[in-house]
Amino acid sequence: MQPLLKDASPYIKNFVQMVYDYGRMENVVDIVDQFQAMYDEANHTVYAKVTTAVPLTDDQKTQIENSYAQRVGADKVILTSQVDPSVIGGVIVKAADTVLDGSLRTKINRLRQQLLA
């Protein structure tokens, strides 16, 4: 472990030593994940995935981040984007257990269901 910790900060060195001392090395990933979740909650940071039919420009991505942050009361939204042509148009934003679907595909499907009912 020493070669890996050679350039690490004192906080990281202490963390790794403590985890080792308590015999929790197999839980390091879970501990780090939980810390990240608590840090993000304290700093009002949300991670979201946005799906569009075409690639987003940087301006569009920034606009979605700002709009979504306002909507969910976050200080910061970190987006990852993916392209799915089947969306047809619009945007789908997924974060944790929340989905905001403004895609044209969903609107067409809703209209289809209403016409068939």
pLDDT tens profile 48-93: 999 999 999 999 999 999 999 999 999 999 999 999 999 999 999 9
Tell me the pTM: 0.77
What is the sign of the dihedral through the CA atoms of 56, 60, 65 and 69? negative
Strand partners, 100: 93
